[in-house]
Amino acid sequence: MSSVGKFSCEACARTYSWKPELAGKRVKCKCGQPLSVPAGNPAADDAPEGFEGLMPAGDHAAAVPAKQSGPACPSCSAPVDPAAVICVNCGHNLKTGKKLKTTKLAGDAAAAAATDRLVPGYRSYSAQAEDSGAGMSKKQKMIIAFSCIGGLIIILGIVLSITIPASRAEKERLAKLNARPAKLEKILINSEKAGGLTEAMRQGTLLNGIEEDPNVAKAKAEIAANRDTARLNQRAIDMYATKGPEMKAFLAANPQNHFQGYDHDKSLGMVEALYKMGATNIHSTDPPLDQGANQMVIGMVATLPADPAARKKIFKWYQQQDKVLNHPDFAYQSEHNQNYMTLEFSE
């Protein structure tokens, strides 16, 4: 009987006997290390036990050199390149000490298409470690990046669609205001000169120097009416402050007491007519003048009713009085929504 040669596993040093049927083929050691069976008999003396652990790899085993030198993987003891980062046998990361996630090959057909010598049981490993936390391909990252950019563009578009019209409207509003800057400026100047807006309205100087337009005449008329109302009300308040007597009591105190320019009966009839039409609080405009046997007052002040019909009736009555003094500074002949009415009489 001819002697049978032996060959050893470089990873775990396990020894196997050479067999002609495996000559030149790739097999795998029990430790998982790929081995190349010598093409010829190494002429060893005898084969040790355990030769049955050799696993034929078939015709599609991956081409791995029969002998490799250098460091071994600390996880599976397979030889690794000195510059390698990951063990291709077990997926052990030689730098971090962690294992990679693995995915089993689709099958022998897919493996055969890749290479004509593939060791059964090999696994392919992803290029990312378990602790990377990414797990995304470059294409996925690009999709996410473009999605974020698209979202930002949409948000920016919404913001611009709101702010641009608002800005345009504000510009138009300012343009309209700037088209008449002199008017607003003139009103402010007139108010300042008069000592305030209210005083400028009272004096009728608020719109001085402003060019006419369809609304200016109306505004001036309203200001003039408000001015007259304020002046009439203030004049009446000043008359009440003199604490002249209530007119009906004054006339009843002496049958010869009267208004200037009227006798007693005519004076009493005027007072009673005002009370009947709704006027109240009718007093003398000033303290009575002593004329010896009687007293005389120059005029009277009355509080007007709020009812428009009653006020209209009083003003119509007022215009029929022939001895009422019409001062140029006080418009007695028309209503200005004033609270009071003053009547002063001539001789």
For the stretch 300-325, pLDDT in tens is 999 999 999 999 999 899 888 888 87
* pLDDT at residue 47 is higher than 80: no
From CA 340, how far away is CA 91, in angstroms rounded? 107
Q: Is 9 exposed, middle or buried (0-12, 13-18, 19+ CB in 10 A)?
A: buried
More reliable by pLDDT, 24 or 126: 24
* pLDDT at residue 253 is higher than 50: yes
- The H or E element that residue 55 is part of is strand 55-56
Query: Residues 6 or more apart from 32 whose CB is under 8 A from it?
Result: 11, 76, 78, 89, 90, 121
Tokens of 64: 């791995």
Q: Are 302 and 315 in contact (CB under 8 A)?
A: no
Distance between first and last Cα of the chain: 173
Give strand pairing partners of 280.
303
* pLDDT at residue 38 is higher than 90: no
SS3 296: strand
31-36: long-range pairs with CB below 8 Å, 24+: 31/76, 31/77, 32/76, 32/78, 32/89, 32/90, 32/121, 33/9, 33/76, 33/77, 33/78, 33/79, 33/89, 34/61, 34/62, 34/64, 34/119, 35/7, 35/9, 35/66, 36/64, 36/65, 36/66, 36/67
Half-sphere exposure of 295 (CA within 13 A, CB side): 17
* pLDDT at residue 32 is higher than 60: yes
306-309: long-range pairs with CB below 8 Å, 24+: 307/278
From CA 199, how far away is CA 172, in angstroms rounded? 33
From CA 316, how far away is CA 147, in angstroms rounded? 83
- The amino acid that residue 215 corresponds to is N
Task: State the Cα torsion 31-32-36-37 to the nearest 10°.
Answer: 50
Tokens of 142: 């690009």
* pLDDT at residue 327 is higher than 70: no
More reliable by pLDDT, 19 or 69: 19
Q: What is the largest CA-CA distance in the chain?
A: 180
Q: How far is CA 336 from CA 119, 275, 341, 344, in A?
A: 114, 20, 10, 18
From CA 183, how far away is CA 213, in angstroms rounded? 11
Q: Whole-structure pTM over 0.75, yes or no?
A: no
SS3 230: helix
Q: Given this model, what pLDDT does residue 63 score? A: 38
Mean pLDDT across the chain, nearest whole number? 77
Query: Residues 6 or more apart from 143 whose CB is under 8 A from it?
Result: none
Cβ neighbours of 40 (radius 10 Å): 10
Phi, psi of 2 (to 5 degrees): -75, 150
For the stretch 270-295, pLDDT in tens is 999 999 999 999 999 999 999 888 99
Tokens of 56: 């034929």
Q: Given this model, what pLDDT does residue 330 score? A: 61
For the stretch 180-232, pLDDT in tens is 556 777 788 888 888 888 888 878 788 777 655 567 777 777 887 788 788 88
Give strand pairing partners of 129.
100
